[in-house]
A and B are shown apart, each in its own frame.
Chain A
Amino acid sequence: MTSYLAATSLEEAVAALADGARPIAGGTDLVVGARQGKKPLPEALVGIHRIPGLNGIRDSDDGLEIGAMTSHAAVVAHPTVRNRYSGLADASALVGSHATRAQGTIGGNLMNASPAMDTGAPLLCFDSAVTLASARGTRNLSLADLWTGPGHTSAGRDELLVAVHVPAPPPSTGSAYVRLQYRRQMEIAVVGAAAVVTLSEGTVTAAAIAITALAPVIHRVAEAEARLIGGKANAAAIASAADAAAEASRPIDDVRASANYRKAMAAVVARRAIETAISRAGGAEVEIPASESTYGS
């Protein structure tokens, strides 16, 4: 028998976690997993979706603070996210269907630690950090240090992700997240890539590139970034960086694609993500999600 507590405060929620309960918000991973028979529902659940203060996006000159309970729909709809953090909007716009985006939260997406999650790569490229809260206190952790493997994080079982911090990018920065999919909704990335690129008079001054569904955890590819930084943002440099992203991939065979296909497509999605980030850095309007408009390019 599963028990359920509807937490009305963070203190109540972390106390329940300390007693062994597992958190539930939109339920889009936890309940689906249980229905599929992957993993039974935990014995004790604590509902965190109505805790005041965990939902919403705070936008300042320093960057964004996204409450863990913020839905993907709210992320996509936020004007600053769309303009300055477009890669994140690209990603949240692709999660599930409009039903998933209305209920599914950014905190749940990150803590589910799927190597195929859409929001992971852009948030990683923006150098994001998360705040974890427990009855013992709170701590901040860079996103890169959160994921340890498919479905695994470095967070303790008594810790709750309460916020995501996204530092503001410098001016003339563009970003994009692109993935391959078989269906336009209720899909999981077959392969994906994100890029955040800063330009100064046509020269790349900063670049971050991360790959999705291509390794046990979403990660950045330093070699791909190095091939862009300091040079002109031209087709040869972009292709070379995309190749480096593909070379760094360690994909698996599964129901959605073979490892060979993923490896072959890694360079394609990386190129599309980098090209789109560069276009946006130069002030071009590219529709969100970029996957739709870059398809076939």
Chain B
Amino acid sequence: MSVPASATLLHVVREQIGLTGSKEGCDDSECGACMMLLDGEPVNSCSYLAVQADGSAITTVEGLAPGDTLAPLQEAFLVAGGVQCGFCTPGMLISATRLLRDNPDPTTDEVRLELSGNLCRCTGYDGIVKAVMEVAARTAEKSAGD
């Protein structure tokens, strides 16, 4: 595909590719609603040019679930009430996915710190933090049982 040099990654993914999971919140790299993984590392896609991602692997919220089953974090967000209006959720999920990959057993404060680049205007942070801690605890239990 061909993209204008000035188009952001977010714009191309939403408008040209048609994957609208990632959201445009602030368009200013403040809120993290547009967060994606670029070759496995987080990027605020509203502030990254699509041309620069040529040849890179991009993961959006649509890519977190294997097939029709929800990923453990997605399930936990639902159960713990980590989704209110849902606008920040795609970025939160990407951010939390990367967090648990690099730090599978975080403290509550580490989760709060690492997710501070993602704003939830419903201020539903408690449910979000609980969901992430819940998945971390389950992973720890599982590896302890192995």
A6 near B28: Cβ-Cβ < 8 Å: no
Partner of B32, one of A26, A36, A99: A99
Known: A184-B116, A185-B117. A98 touches B49 (CB 8 A): no
The residues of B that contact A294 with a CB separation of less than 8 Å are none
A98 near B114: Cβ-Cβ < 8 Å: yes
A131 to chain B, nearest CB (A): 24
Known: A97-B116, A98-B114, A184-B113. A35 touches B49 (CB 8 A): no
B30 near A98: Cβ-Cβ < 8 Å: no
By CB atoms of chain B within 10 A, which of A41, A73, A99, A103 has the most?
A: A99
A31 near B8: Cβ-Cβ < 8 Å: yes
Task: Decide yes or no whether B60 CB sits under 8 A from chain A.
Answer: no
B6 near A103: Cβ-Cβ < 8 Å: no
The residues of A that contact B49 with a CB separation of less than 8 Å are 4, 24, 27, 31, 45
The residues of A that contact B99 with a CB separation of less than 8 Å are 98
A49-64 with Cβ < 8 A to chain B: 49
A121 to chain B, nearest CB (A): 22
Count A interface residues, CB 8 Å.
30
Partner of B47, one of A28, A45, A73: A28
Identify 10 residue pairs between A and B in the complex whose beta-carbon atoms are under 8 Å apart, listed by A's number.
Answer: A1-B4, A2-B6, A27-B49, A73-B41, A97-B42, A99-B43, A100-B117, A103-B38, A103-B48, A185-B117
List A residues at the B interface (Cβ < 8 Å).
1-4, 6, 24, 26-28, 31-32, 34-36, 41, 45, 47, 49, 73, 96-100, 102-103, 183-186
11 further A-B pairs in the complex, CB-CB below 8 A; given A2-B5, A49-B52, A184-B112? A3-B5, A4-B49, A28-B47, A36-B28, A47-B51, A97-B44, A99-B44, A102-B42, A103-B38, A103-B43, A103-B48
List B residues at the A interface (Cβ < 8 Å).
4-6, 8, 27-30, 32, 35, 38, 41-44, 46-49, 51-52, 54, 95, 98-99, 112-114, 116-118
